Structure 1
Amino acid sequence: MFAGNFRLKAGLAALSLTAAALALPSAAQADGVVNIYSQRQPFLIEPLLEAFTEKTGIQTEVLHLNEGLPERIAAEGQNSPADVILTVDIGRLAAVVDAGVTQPVEDEVINNAIPAQYRDPEGHWFGLTTRARVVYASKDRVEQDTITYEELADPKWKGKICVRSGQHQYNIALFASLIAHHGEEATEEWMKGLKANLARKPAGGDRDQAQAIAAGECDIALGNTYYVGLMMNNEEEPEQKEWAAAIKVLFPNSEDRGTHVNISGMALAKHAPNKENALKLMQFLVSPEAQEIYAERNYEYPVLPGAEISETVKSFGELKPDTLPLSEIAKNSDAASEMVDRVGLDDGPAS
Structure 2
Amino acid sequence: MKKSLMFFVVAILLVLSACGSKSNTSTENEAAKTDSEKKTETAQEVNLYTSRHYDVDNELYNKFEEETGIKVNIIKGEADELIERIKREGAATKADLFLTADVGRLYRAKEDGLLQAASSDVLSKQVPAKFRDNEDMWVGLTKRARVLVYNKEKVKPEELSTYEALTDDAWKGRVLVRSSESVYNQSLLASFIEINGEEKAKEWAQGIVNNLAQNPEGGDRDQAKAIAAGIGDVAIMNTYYFGQMLNSQEPEEVKVAENLGVFFPNQETTGAHVNISGAGVVKGSKNADNALKLLEFLTGEEAQGEFASANYEFPVNENVEPSELLKSWGEFKEQDIPLSILGENNAKAMMIFNEVGWK
Q: TM-score, normalised by structure 1?
A: 0.88
Counterpart of 2:71?
59
Please report how far the alpha carbon of residue 340 of structure 1 lies from its aligned counterpart in structure 2 after TM superposition: 0.3
Counterpart of 2:206?
192
Higher helix share: 2
Please report how far the alpha carbon of residue 112 of structure 1 lies from its aligned counterpart in structure 2 after TM superposition: 2.2
Measure, in 2, the Cα distance between the counterparts of 1:41 and 1:81.
20
Counterpart of 1:33?
45
Structure 2 residue runs of 5 or longer lacking an equivalent are 1-38
CA contact (8 A) 2:105 2:343 kept: no
Counterpart of 1:268?
281
Query: Which amino acid counterpart does residue 107 of structure 2 have in structure 1?
Result: A
Please report how far the alpha carbon of residue 198 of structure 1 lies from its aligned counterpart in structure 2 after TM superposition: 0.4
Query: Which amino acid counterpart does residue 64 of structure 1 have in structure 2?
Result: K
CA contact (8 A) 2:157 2:263 kept: no
Q: Cα RMSD (Å) of the superposition?
A: 1.4
Q: What does the per-residue CA deviation read over 1:104-128, in whole Å, with 9 as the maximum and x for residues that have no partner?
A: 1132211222112211101111111
Counterpart of 1:160?
174
Q: What does the per-residue CA deviation read over 1:115-164, in whole Å, with 9 as the maximum and x for residues that have no partner?
A: 12211101111111110000011111001244201111111100000110
SS of 1:103's equivalent in the other structure is coil
Structure 1 or 2, whichever has the larger Rg, is: 2
- How do residues 169-318 of structure 1 correspond to structure 2 at under 5 angstroms? 169-235=183-249, 237-318=250-331
Measure, in 1, the Cα distance between the counterparts of 2:238 and 2:131.
17
Counterpart of 1:339?
352
CA contact (8 A) 1:207 1:231 kept: yes
Measure, in 1, the Cα distance between the counterparts of 2:328 and 2:257.
12
Counterpart of 2:155?
142
CA contact (8 A) 1:128 1:266 kept: yes
Please report how far the alpha carbon of residue 42 of structure 1 lies from its aligned counterpart in structure 2 after TM superposition: 4.4
CA contact (8 A) 1:167 1:340 kept: no
Please report how far the alpha carbon of residue 326 of structure 1 lies from its aligned counterpart in structure 2 after TM superposition: 0.5
CA contact (8 A) 1:74 1:100 kept: no
Measure, in 1, the Cα distance between the counterparts of 2:212 and 2:128.
36
Q: Which 4+ runs in 1 deviate beyond 3 A?
A: none
Q: TM-score, normalised by structure 2?
A: 0.86
Structure 1 residue runs of 5 or longer lacking an equivalent are 1-26, 347-351
Among residues 92, 102, 109, which one is paired with 1:79 in the alignment?
92
Q: What does the per-residue CA deviation read over 1:72-94, in whole Å, with 9 as the maximum and x for residues that have no partner?
A: 11211122111111100011111
Query: Which amino acid counterpart does residue 271 of structure 1 have in structure 2?
Result: G
Please report how far the alpha carbon of residue 44 of structure 1 lies from its aligned counterpart in structure 2 after TM superposition: 4.2
Counterpart of 2:336?
323
Measure, in 1, the Cα distance between the counterparts of 2:274 and 2:54.
22
Q: Which moves more between the two structures, 143-152 or 285-294?
A: 143-152
Measure, in 1, the Cα distance between the counterparts of 2:261 and 2:217.
21
Q: What is the aligned-residue identity percentage?
A: 44
Paired residue total:
318
Query: Which amino acid counterpart does residue 212 of structure 1 have in structure 2?
Result: A
SS of 1:30's equivalent in the other structure is helix
CA contact (8 A) 1:71 1:99 kept: no
SS of 1:261's equivalent in the other structure is strand
